């Protein structure tokens, strides 16, 4: 007998792609199943209560006759999306259904479509059917868009949601749940403008019971913990209040129960499509509202998933969430359901009431389907104070998660922005709140980023050199006067908030240093991905300031696409224009050469070689012996002196010219590590360690070398011990000087 996977190869069917990733192999314990059934039933009751109020919001005024059809469409959407999302989500246990932001836009869509139908003389029944058809079409398009985002793996690109926006969305959801509790009790909406109704003795008593229920659950959860507290308290409180109402003769009074006992009426969109009763031009005229439903549902899903990740400290696969919700909406549209998505509130309620696995969301959806098909009026089963208390408890949990037990609780700015976003959502709606929140988060980011120093590091040539090793006299001069060269490492995108700080920082350095005066400013831009217009203008201002103060600006490491805006703005224009180099080392080498030229210390001085060597070896040593033991060689540019990997059997004294130390890179190409100028030594490390050459040495400029072979070295040490000792002391000093400067560089960079 073939296994299911071999009988039907789901992985080869694109339409069933998400089903192949479904973890069917969960086997919950019997106790977990009980928890899932109970939590699913509680969540279903709350969802049905929301669907009743949502139907009243969409089908109001002249559309009131469509309450039954609207309720059925909402329940269908809840059952279908709840089942599919519960099976496919990466954040189980989870539930899904119509969300408040999307419902608010649907009410506008309903008003637009119905007014168009009624204006051209259509009946109320026709207006209701057109509204339902427009909602079904928006649901279908929502499914296509969400599924497309998931299939194209664009979910990660939509994750750029700052935490304050998520926190504000969470907090607003919590607050609106508490406000919804008031709506459940008073039946007058969640606004607090109907004070007379709210403070009446009747509604006051209901609110006290609701608050008492929420506080009781909080106390018992804190004291005993465990998932059983909420479901046990819910059913016990429901039964107790039912008995009390019956005992005092209030059991038949409908104001203690939801004012929505309207019977749902199933409808089938396909029949109206083929009947030709739909005026598609009217539907098309509401394209903006239909698009808004799609967009708001996608945003609500993104925020719900992000908020649930924060609430549960888990990570979701956003591509899979979009795909699952897209599939759910597509199926819901085909059977006449209303657009829905993974619900933050319902998912938190499932977890708080003991939901242990995906089955809790599935049981919630099946319960809704059962109520829909049976025609049962669950509005008469649970007193409104208990439902309101459940909403108050859930709203309080979400509020504390958003503002106290979250990362925002450790940052006053993030917490303040989250509260501001919450208030905007409460007063102006989710869409306005999210847009305002994104704008506020961007401004806060710009402010905070502008406070981060763009100048990552700032050193002078006294402690940081180029990769050119120079003669002792030149090195000493560069160390003594090196503060005339300042190197600034710039990092990050430079924009209007930070560009002026760069200018002011460098101007302050130039103004405050009097001796030696600053002669060169090196801007290392390798870590700069770009400039905005304000930054380009600030750099031009810096160029003009430095020109007025006889300071040369040198730019290094600019990428071609970053250099373009500077060229277009004329930054590298008229002389004396800033110099541009590929790397920081090349820029710093140019500055060093300029400073040495100003001090009269030219780079190549072969005629002074004997004087230099005499100074290094000491006046008591006969330097004429060098011609006996060292071979004088004239080398031209491009000559390879050493090859990486060959034996180290020579030392070279560089009288003049310039050589490069090269290593072989991963791509096989030569990579230059250092340059060495005249009156320096090369090859000593491999020679004395008796190890193969660690790098290749190539002459970059023609010059003169004095080469000492190993055979001649042994002869020198044997026959001329005084000269040999002086030579070894010279080599030790060279290595010590290199080590000392390297230590200073490391200390400066740390």
CB 475 within 8 A of CB 466: no
Whether residues 194 and 326 fall in one domain = yes
Is 23 domain-assigned?
A: no
Judge if 706 and 680 occupy the same domain. Answer: yes
Distance between CA atoms of 729 and 581, rounded to whole angstroms? 38
Give the per-residue pLDDT at 253: 55
Q: Which residues make beta-bridge pairs with 651?
A: 708
Give CA–CA dist 143/146, Å, rounded. Answer: 5
Flag whether 643 is in a domain. Answer: yes
469 and 572 within one domain: yes
- In CATH, what number is assigned to the domain containing residue 683? 2.60.120.10
At 594, which helix (H) or strand (E)?
A: helix 584-598
Q: Based on the structure, what is the number of domains in the chain? A: 3
The 8 Å CB, 24+ separation contacts for 192-195 are none
Half-sphere exposure of 277 (CA within 13 A, CB side): 16
The number of angstroms, rounded, from the C-alpha of 296 to the middle of its chain's C-alpha atoms is: 21
Domain co-membership, 548 together with 611: no
470 and 362 in one domain?
no
Same domain flag for 400 and 547: no
Vertex 122: Cα angle to 117 and 128 (nearest 5): 65
Q: Please check whether residues 676 and 703 belong to one and the same domain.
A: yes
Q: Positive or negative CA dihedral for 469, 474, 477, 481? A: negative
* 200 SS3 class: coil
**Would you say 429 and 101 are in contact if contact means Cβ atoms under 8 Å apart?**
yes
Q: In terms of residue numbers, what domain contains 492?
A: 455-598
Pair 589, 611 in one domain: no
What is the per-residue pLDDT for 380? 66
Give the per-residue pLDDT at 53.
Answer: 64
CA nearest neighbour of 67 among 142, 137, 131, 138: 131
Is residue 383 domain-shared with residue 248, that is, in the same domain? Answer: yes
Same domain, 375 and 277: yes
Rounded to whole angstroms, the Cα distance separating 230 from 220 reads 9
- Answer yes or no: is 586 within a domain: yes
Regarding whether 620 and 561 lie in a shared domain, the answer is no
Burial label for 123, CB within 10 Å (0-12, 13-18, 19+), is exposed
Within-domain flag for 448: no
Does 334 fall in a domain?
yes
- Would residue 188 count as lying in a domain? yes
Contact status, residue 50 vs residue 336, Cβ threshold 8 Å: no
Residue 533 maps to which CATH number?
Answer: 3.30.750.24
Last residue of a domain, one of 598, 622, 641: 598
What's the pLDDT at 28?
A: 53
How far apart (Å, rounded) are the C-alpha atoms in residues 385 and 196? Answer: 18
**Residue 8 falls within a domain, yes or no?**
no
DSSP state of 549: T
Q: What angle do CA 595, 600, 605 make, to 5 degrees?
A: 110
pLDDT along the chain (750 residues), means of 10: 35 39 48 85 83 73 82 93 95 88 78 92 92 95 94 75 72 75 63 48 80 87 71 80 79 60 69 85 89 81 85 86 95 94 88 89 94 75 76 79 62 77 78 75 70 82 87 85 94 82 91 93 91 87 91 91 83 81 91 90 62 79 83 90 90 89 76 83 89 90 91 91 89 85 72
Note whether 131 and 269 are same-domain residues: yes
């Amino acid at each position: 007998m073939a296994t299911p996977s071999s009988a039907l190869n789901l992985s080869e069917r694109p339409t069933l792609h998400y089903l192949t990733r479904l973890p069917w192999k969960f086997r919950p314990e019997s106790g977990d199943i009980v928890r899932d059934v109970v939590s699913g039933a509680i969540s279903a009751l709350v969802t049905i209560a929301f669907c009743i109020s949502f139907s009243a919001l969409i089908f109001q005024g002249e559309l009131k006759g469509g309450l039954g059809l609207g309720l059925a469409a909402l329940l269908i959407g809840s059952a279908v999306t709840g089942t599919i999302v519960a099976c496919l989500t990466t954040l189980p246990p989870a539930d899904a259904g119509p969300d408040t932001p999307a419902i608010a836009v649907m009410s506008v869509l309903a008003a637009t479509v119905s007014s168009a139908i009624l204006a051209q003389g259509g009946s109320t029944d026709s207006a209701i059917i057109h509204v339902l058809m427009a909602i079904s079409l928006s649901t279908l398009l929502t499914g296509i868009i969400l599924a497309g985002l998931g299939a194209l793996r664009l979910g990660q690109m939509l994750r750029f949601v700052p935490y304050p926006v998520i926190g504000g969305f969470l907090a607003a959801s919590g607050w609106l749940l508490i406000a919804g509790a008031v709506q459940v009790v008073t039946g007058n909406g969640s606004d607090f403008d109907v004070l007379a109704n709210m403070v009446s003795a009747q509604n006051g008593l209901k609110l006290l019971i609701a608050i008492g229920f929420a506080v009781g659950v909080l106390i018992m959860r804190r004291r005993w913990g465990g998932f059983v507290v909420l479901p046990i308290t819910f059913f016990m409180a429901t039964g107790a209040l039912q008995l009390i109402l019956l005992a005092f003769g209030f059991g038949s009074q409908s104001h203690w129960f939801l004012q929505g006992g309207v019977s749902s009426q199933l409808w089938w969109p396909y029949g109206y499509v083929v009947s030709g009763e739909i005026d598609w031009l009217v539907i098309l005229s509401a394209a903006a509202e239909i698009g808004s439903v799609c967009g708001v549902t996608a945003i609500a899903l993104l925020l719900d998933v992000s908020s649930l990740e924060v609430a549960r400290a888990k990570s979701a696969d956003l591509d899979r969430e979009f795909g699952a919700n897209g599939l759910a909406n597509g199926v819901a549209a085909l059977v006449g359901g209303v657009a829905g998505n993974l619900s933050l509130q319902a998912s938190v309620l499932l977890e708080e009431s003991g939901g242990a696995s995906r089955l809790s969301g599935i049981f919630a959806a099946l319960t809704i389907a059962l109520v829909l098909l049976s025609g049962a009026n669950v509005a008469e089963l649970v007193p409104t104070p208990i439902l309101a208390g459940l909403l108050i408890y859930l709203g309080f949990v979400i509020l504390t998660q958003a503002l106290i037990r979250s990362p925002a609780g450790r940052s006053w700015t993030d917490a303040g922005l989250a509260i501001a976003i919450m208030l905007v959502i409460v007063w102006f709606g989710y869409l306005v709140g999210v847009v305002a929140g994104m704008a506020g988060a961007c401004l806060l980011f710009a402010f905070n980023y502008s406070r981060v120093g763009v100048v990552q590091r700032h050193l002078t040539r006294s402690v940081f050199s180029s990769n050119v090793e120079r003669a002792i006299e030149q090195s000493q001069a560069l160390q003594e006067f090196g503060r005339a060269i300042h190197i600034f490492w710039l990092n990050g995108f430079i924009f209007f908030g930070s560009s002026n700080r760069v200018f002011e920082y460098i101007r302050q350095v130039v103004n405050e240093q009097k001796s030696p005066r600053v002669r060169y400013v090196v801007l290392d831009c390798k870590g700069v991905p770009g400039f905005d217009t304000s930054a380009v203008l600030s750099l031009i201002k810096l160029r003009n300031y430095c020109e007025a103060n006889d300071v040369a600006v040198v730019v290094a490491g600019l990428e071609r696409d970053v250099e373009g805006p500077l060229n277009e703005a004329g930054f590298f224009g008229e002389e004396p224009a800033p110099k541009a180099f590929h790397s920081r080392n090349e820029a710093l080498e140019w500055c060093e050469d300029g400073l040495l030229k100003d001090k009269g210390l030219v780079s190549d001085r072969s005629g002074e070689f004997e004087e230099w060597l005499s100074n290094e070896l000491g006046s008591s040593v006969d330097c004429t012996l060098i011609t006996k033991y060292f071979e004088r060689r004239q080398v031209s540019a491009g000559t390879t002196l050493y090859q990486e990997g060959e034996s180290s059997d020579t030392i070279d004294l560089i009288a003049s010219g310039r050589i490069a130390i090269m290593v072989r890179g991963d791509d096989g190409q030569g990579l230059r590590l250092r340059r060495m100028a005249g009156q320096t030594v090369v090859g000593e490390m491999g020679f004395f360690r008796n190890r193969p050459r660690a790098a290749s040495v190539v002459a970059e400029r023609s010059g003169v070398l004095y080469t000492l072979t190993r055979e001649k070295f042994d002869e020198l040490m044997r026959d001329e011990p005084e000269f040999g000792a002086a030579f070894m002391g010279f080599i030790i000093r060279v290595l010590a000087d290199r080590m000392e400067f390297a230590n200073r560089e490391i200390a400066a960079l740390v």
